[in-house]
Amino acid sequence: MTRQEHIDRLLQEYARRRAADERDREERIEKTRAEHPEIAAILDESRDLLSESARRLAERPGGGRELAALVRTRSAELTGRLKAAVAAAGLPADILSLRPKCPLCKDLGYAEDTFPRRFCSCFETELARAMSDESASEQSFATFRLDVFPDEPAREGGVSQRRMAEGVRQYLSDWAEKFPDNQRPNVTLIGKSGLGKTFFLNCVAERLRERGVPVVQMTAFRMLEAMRRRHMGSFESRDAFDEMLEAPALILDDLGSEPMLNNITIEYLFTLLNERMAAGRHTLVATNLSMAELQQHYNERIASRLLDRQRGAVILLEGADLRTL
Ligand SMILES: [Zn+2]
């Protein structure tokens, strides 16, 4: 895909995201209106103010400035009353507002008031990710170069990072060859960033695809997007979350970097890992979080699945030795 094609695809994704944000806001407004008549009354006044001023402007096109000042004063007053009513009802202050994932661009992907259009930093980040995901397919065990790993001990007195990488390469390339008849269907790669975790995942994905295995590979960031869409009520009969549940091989990068969304991140991640294990499907995960941090960040049930050494290999890319116990 060209850069422009990536941009177009991502803009569509943002448009869907924004539409979902708006539906979510509409639902909250409806619910609040139904449960709090005093708030509904203020919202009605606000709506009437707008339609009334539009009507008066149509009647007296010359009186625009005067009318605008009047509308501003009245609408500031209504906003104040609305805030007070929301607080009095014990509701969150943003109950009637859009809740975008990115507060900067409100999920549009670009700054609204710039010309030429300037993309938001969140958009640039996702674009770079999408483009590097694509170039990732050039990484494979066949072109694997051990000399990119420094030949120095990862820790004083320990083995060199290169030897460690060699061990991981050996384990993962065997794993990819044996798939799906692996003694341990799951692999969790743990280590700080910069140790080659993404590279290893790409090598496995490449080999599996070569062998004709359908692979779903994504960052945790995208994973959460799929979960969020499912949670909001997806309209497709089979959505991205179903694909993640059903893929014979699921490869998740950067787990722990995704936002923690109430009622979504923990719940859906547990469902995903648990159902995949129950169905005997293979899952590869890379994370910057240590074992202890995984337990704190998620919970015991999720951590125990990620760190289950009966059915999974836990590979530590940090520390003196490489353990695939
Ligand atoms: Zn943004």
**CA 122 / ligand 1 centre spacing (Å):** 4
Domains delineated in the chain: 3-120 (no CATH), 139-316 (3.40.50.300)
Task: Tell me the C-alpha distance between 230 and 224, whole Å.
Answer: 10
**CA 44 / ligand 1 centre spacing (Å):** 31
**CA 16 / ligand 1 centre spacing (Å):** 14
Task: Tell me how far apart the terminal alpha carbons of the chain are, to the nearest angstrom.
Answer: 40
**CA 106 / ligand 1 centre spacing (Å):** 6
**CA 21 / ligand 1 centre spacing (Å):** 13
Which positions ≥6 away from 95 have C-beta within 8 Å? 28, 32, 86
**CA 97 / ligand 1 centre spacing (Å):** 17
**CA 26 / ligand 1 centre spacing (Å):** 21
pLDDT value at position 176? 97
**CA 73 / ligand 1 centre spacing (Å):** 31
**Predicted confidence (pLDDT) per residue in 116-168, tens digit:** 778 888 898 888 878 876 665 567 888 888 877 888 787 777 888 888 889 99
**CA 82 / ligand 1 centre spacing (Å):** 28
Q: Which residue has the tokens 């269907």?
A: 185
**CA 102 / ligand 1 centre spacing (Å):** 5
**Predicted confidence (pLDDT) per residue in 155-165, tens digit:** 777 888 888 88
**CA 113 / ligand 1 centre spacing (Å):** 14
**CA 234 / ligand 1 centre spacing (Å):** 22
pTM of the model: 0.59
**CA 174 / ligand 1 centre spacing (Å):** 41
pLDDT value at position 50? 84
**CA 126 / ligand 1 centre spacing (Å):** 10
- Collapsing DSSP to helix, strand or coil, 276 comes out as helix
- Collapsing DSSP to helix, strand or coil, 16 comes out as helix
**CA 128 / ligand 1 centre spacing (Å):** 14
Q: Which residue has the tokens 């240590």?
A: 290
**CA 101 / ligand 1 centre spacing (Å):** 8
**CA 124 / ligand 1 centre spacing (Å):** 9
**CA 10 / ligand 1 centre spacing (Å):** 12
Task: Tell me the C-alpha distance between 292 and 306, whole Å.
Answer: 12
Per-residue pLDDT of the chain (325 residues; tens, 9 = 90+): 778 888 988 999 899 999 999 999 999 999 999 999 999 999 999 999 888 888 887 887 666 778 888 888 999 999 999 999 999 999 999 999 999 988 889 999 988 776 677 888 889 888 887 887 666 556 788 888 887 788 878 777 788 888 888 999 999 999 999 999 999 999 999 998 778 898 899 999 989 988 888 889 998 988 998 899 888 886 667 788 998 999 999 999 999 999 899 999 999 999 999 999 999 999 999 999 999 999 999 999 999 999 999 999 999 986 433 333 3
**CA 85 / ligand 1 centre spacing (Å):** 30
**CA 324 / ligand 1 centre spacing (Å):** 40
Task: Tell me the C-alpha distance between 161 and 158, whole Å.
Answer: 9
**CA 100 / ligand 1 centre spacing (Å):** 9
Q: With left for phi above 0 and alpha for psi between -120 and 50, is residue 112 left, alpha or beta?
A: alpha
> Which of 325, 274, 264, 279 has its CA nearest to residue 302?
274
